[in-house]
Amino acid sequence: MKLTVTKSKNSASFYVQKSIRKKSGRTTSITIEKLGNLEEVRAKAGGKDPYVWAQEYVDELNRREYEEQKEVIVRYLPAKLIKKGEQKSYNCGYLFLQKIYYSLGLDKICKEISSRHPFEYDLNDILSKLVYTRTLYPSSKLAANKQARVFLEEPSFELYDIYRALSVLSEENDFIQSELYKNSQKVIERSDDILYYDCTNYYFELEEADDLRKYGKSKQHQPLPIVGMGLFMDHDGIPLAFDIYPGNKNEQPTLKPLEKKILKDYGLDQIIVCTDAGLSSKSNRKFNDRTINGERLRSFITTQSVKQLPEYLKDFALGPEGWHLSGDSRSYNINKLDESEYYDAVFYKDRWIKEDLSGRKIRKAAKPLEQHLIVSFSFKYKNYQGKIRQGQVERAKKMIDSGKYKQRPKNQNDPLRFIARDTMTENGEICSAEVPYLNTALIEEESRYDGFYAVCTNLEDMNVDEIVRINKKRWEIEECFRIMKTDFKARPVYLQREDRIRAHFLTCFISLFIYRVLEKKLDEKYTSEEIISTLRDMYMQRPGEKLGYIPAYTRTDLTDDLHAVSGFRTDYEIITDINMKKVIRESRKK
Q: What are phi and psi of 390, to 5 degrees?
A: -65, -35
At 223 the pLDDT is 78
Q: Where are the alpha helices (DSSP H) in 90-122?
A: 94-103, 106-114
CA gyration radius, the chain: 31
How many Å apart are CA 222 and CA 244, to the nearest integer?
Answer: 18
Task: Determine, yes or no, domain membership for 36.
Answer: yes
Residue 91: C-alpha distances to residues 199, 545, 565 (Å): 34, 17, 19
Does residue 579 sit within a domain?
Answer: no
Q: How high is the pLDDT of residue 64?
A: 76
What confidence score (pLDDT) does residue 8 get?
82
Is residue 302 in a domain?
Answer: no
Write down the pLDDT at residue 431. 57
Q: How many helices (DSSP H) and strands (DSSP E) are in the chain?
A: 19, 17
| Domain closes at, from 69, 98, 123 | 69
- Model confidence over 230-266: pLDDT tens digits? 999 999 999 999 999 998 899 999 999 999 999 999 9
Domain assignment present for residue 458? The answer is no
**Domain presence at residue 429:** yes
Q: How confident is the model at residue 320 (pLDDT cuts 50, 70, 90)?
A: very high
| pLDDT value at residue 430 | 57
Q: Mean per-residue pLDDT for 396-419?
A: 82
The answer, as to whether pTM is greater than 0.85, is no
Last residue of a domain, one of 69, 92, 121: 69
Taking only the tens place, the pLDDT of each residue in 27-82 is: 788 888 889 888 889 899 988 998 899 999 988 887 777 666 666 677 778 888 88
pLDDT at 402: 87
Which is nearest to 201 in space by CA: 221, 183, 181, 182?
221
Q: What is the pLDDT of residue 544?
A: 78
Q: Is the pLDDT of residue 284 over 60?
A: yes
Pairwise pLDDT comparison (374 vs 23), residue with the higher score:
374
The amino acid occupying position 214 is K
Average pLDDT of 330-352? 95
513 contacts 505 by C-beta, under 8 angstroms: no
Range from 289-293, 432-436, 518-522 that averages highest in pLDDT:
518-522
pLDDT > 90: percent of the chain: 61
What pLDDT is stored for residue 225 in this prediction? 86
pLDDT at 393: 95
341 against 544, higher pLDDT? 341
Mean pLDDT over 323-333 rounds to 93
Give the chain's domain count: 2
Q: What is the mean pLDDT of residues 164-184?
A: 96
Range of the domain at 411: 382-447
pLDDT of residue 366: 60
* pLDDT value, residue 23: 62
* Residue 557 in domain: no
Lowest mean pLDDT among 151-155, 330-334, 428-432, 451-455: 428-432
Say if 349 falls within a structural domain. no
50: number of Cβ within 10 Å: 21
Is residue 56, in this structure, part of any structural domain at all? yes
pLDDT in tens, 378-397: 999 999 999 999 999 999 99
* pLDDT reading at 432 higher than 70: no
The pLDDT of residue 169 is above 90: yes
Q: Are strands 429-438 and 419-426 parallel, antiparallel or unpaired?
A: antiparallel
